[in-house]
């Protein structure tokens, strides 16, 4: 397999920005409620454990990707597990990619239609977002990398609101006692928050397109730590402010938090937060769209990018029509993102073992 053309290459730092954007994506909006419903006051501890697991898994992913430095995941999977099973895995990844685009768009349009532009039909947002996505994905990967970098600096200026200061109602007692529900609560919580770090699996798709692979592991780990810290602080702060029963009642605690906390200097923080979130979710959808297009091209050996981009867009739009109200959005979100993370937790270890056993790839 030849090395991708220069226009299809990224710097490791650009890739890290892309990864941060799409991993932050949807999770922080809901994690405080979902995690505390599952494991009560220990939710913030559960996330720390989850982060440690993900970090270990990321090292396995790096090892696997290093063996096939010029191939994407869907290209080398058939070499390891056989053509048909490999193609099936590739197909599952494509389906999950399209579902993720749909869920991301639906959440984005739902939030805007609920909090900002109340009267606008959600389909209008979906159409506009899709048009922007098509326009972006038609360009080469480096454009996406530059955009991701730009949006990172713009959007994460606003992470000030995402990690807000504790207001008058913060109470340390709400976090105590630690390990209240023991390991049973921790396990339950781990299962519930799996969805939150969806996006890291894209490392395996984008790895061959990264120029400076020597820095890749460093940037990958740093991006996970950055996202993990953001999640952890968000979760911790909201647990500190909201009583458990009230957290269980809030659909998107992060949005609620922004609307009730009075910040110094800035006014209408909810509007600013919406802009921040728009850029983050748009980036998520874009990165997944590119991933889906690349995967379709490689699994089905099709080279006409334009048709595939439109096909993915139409499919994504069709799926958004199947997703209904807020409860439905959440159900889809948890299923799809958990499947993403589940695959990225199980497959790399298995495939690395197979690669070592069958002596496939560079190290073999």
Partner 1 sequence: MKRILLGCFIGLLVITLTGCWDYRPLDEDFMITGLGIDHSLGDESKLEVTVFGVAYTEQDHTLSGQGSSISEAISEIQDKTEKFLSFSHIQILLISKSVAKKGISSIIDVMLRDSQVRNFINVALVDGRVSDFLQKGKEYPVTGSTFEALLKSADLGFPNQLLHLETLAMNLYSGASGFILPILKIDKVSRIISLKGFGVFKRDRFLEEIDRKQMIGFLLLMQRLEYANLTIGTINLDNPDQRVYSVKIKAASTHVRVVIDKDQPTFIYDLGFSGALLEKNPVPLGGISADEIKRIESELTEELKKSMLNVLRKIQKDQIEPFGLGEYARVYWPKGYKEAQWEEQFSKAKIETNIQVNLVFYGQTL
Q: How far is the CB of 268 from partner 1 (least distance, A)?
A: 11
For the chain, the 3-state helix, strand and coil shares in percent, each to the nearest 5, are 80, 0, 20
Binding span for partner 1 by CB under 8 A among 10-18, 161-169, 205-213, 354-362: 161-169
| Candidate list 63, 171, 215, 297; residue touching partner 1; CB under 8 A | 171
| Identified binder of partner 1 from the candidate list 53, 218, 246, 328, rule CB under 8 A | 246
**Helix 269-299 crosses helix 253-260 at what angle (to 10 degrees)?**
160
C-alpha 97/C-alpha 99 separation (Å) is: 5
The window from 53-61, 128-136, 188-196, 301-309 that contacts partner 1 (CB under 8 A) reads 128-136
- Is 166 one of the binding residues for partner 1 (CB under 8 A)? no
Q: Which of 55, 78, 115, 331 binds partner 1 (CB under 8 A)?
A: 115
Which span sits near partner 1 by CB under 8 A: 46-54, 114-122, 207-215, 315-323?
A: 114-122
Which residues sit opposite 210 in a β-bridge? 10
177 binds partner 1 (CB under 8 A): yes
Residue 354 binds to partner 1 (criterion: CB under 8 A):
no
Binding region for partner 1 (CB under 8 A) out of 60-68, 83-91, 170-178, 331-339? 170-178
Helix, strand or coil, per DSSP, at residue 263 = coil
Which H or E run contains 110?
A: helix 83-111
The DSSP result for 259-280, as a single string, is: HHPPPSS---HHHHHHHHHHHH
327 near partner 1, rule: CB under 8 A? no
Instruction: List the alpha helices (DSSP H) in 117-268.
Output: 122-138, 141-155, 159-162, 182-192, 203-206, 216-241, 244-247, 253-260
120 belongs to the binding site for partner 1 (CB under 8 A): yes
Tell me the Cα Rg of the chain: 20
Interaction pattern, residues 251-290, with partner 1; x per rule: CB under 8 A? --------xx------------------------------
Tokens of 307: 């048709």
- Helix count and strand count (H, E) for the chain: 16, 0
Given the rule CB under 8 A, which residues bind partner 1?
114-115, 117-120, 124-125, 127-128, 131-132, 135, 167-169, 171, 173-174, 176-177, 242-246, 249, 259-260
């Amino acid at each position: 397999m030849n090395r991708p053309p220069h226009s299809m290459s990224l710097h490791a730092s650009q890739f890290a920005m892309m990864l941060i954007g799409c991993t932050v994506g949807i999770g922080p909006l809901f994690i405080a409620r979902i995690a505390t419903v599952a494991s009560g006051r220990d939710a913030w501890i559960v996330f720390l454990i989850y982060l440690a697991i993900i970090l270990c898994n990321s090292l396995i992913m790096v090892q696997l990707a290093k063996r096939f430095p010029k191939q994407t995941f869907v290209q080398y999977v058939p070499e390891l597990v056989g053509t048909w099973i490999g193609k099936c895995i590739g197909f599952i990844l494509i389906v999950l990619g399209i579902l993720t685009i749909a869920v991301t768009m639906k959440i984005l349009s739902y939030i805007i239609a609920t909090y900002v532009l109340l009267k606008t039909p959600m389909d209008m947002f979906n159409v506009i977002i899709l048009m922007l996505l098509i326009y972006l994905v038609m360009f080469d990967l480096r454009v996406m990398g530059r955009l991701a970098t730009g949006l990172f600096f713009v959007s994460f200026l606003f992470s000030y609101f995402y990690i807000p200061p504790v207001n008058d109602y913060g109470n340390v007692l709400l976090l105590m006692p630690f390990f209240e529900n023991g390991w049973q609560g921790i396990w339950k919580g781990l299962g519930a928050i799996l969805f939150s770090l969806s996006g890291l699996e894209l490392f395996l798709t984008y790895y061959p397109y990264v120029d400076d692979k020597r820095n890749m592991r460093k940037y990958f780990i740093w991006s996970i730590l950055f996202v993990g810290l953001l999640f952890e602080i968000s979760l911790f702060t909201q647990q500190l402010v909201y009583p458990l029963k009230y957290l269980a009642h809030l659909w998107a605690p992060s949005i609620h938090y922004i609307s009730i906390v009075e910040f110094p200097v800035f006014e209408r923080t909810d509007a600013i937060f919406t802009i921040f979130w728009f850029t983050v979710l748009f980036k998520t959808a874009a990165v997944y769209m590119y991933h889906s297009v690349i995967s379709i091209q490689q699994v089905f050996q099709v080279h006409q990018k334009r048709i595939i981009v439109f096909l993915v867009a139409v499919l994504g739009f069709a799926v958004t029509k199947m997703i209904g109200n807020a409860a439905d959005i959440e159900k889809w979100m948890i299923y799809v993102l958990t499947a993403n993370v589940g695959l990225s937790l199980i497959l790399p270890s298995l495939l690395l073992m197979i690669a070592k056993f069958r002596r496939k790839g560079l190290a073999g």
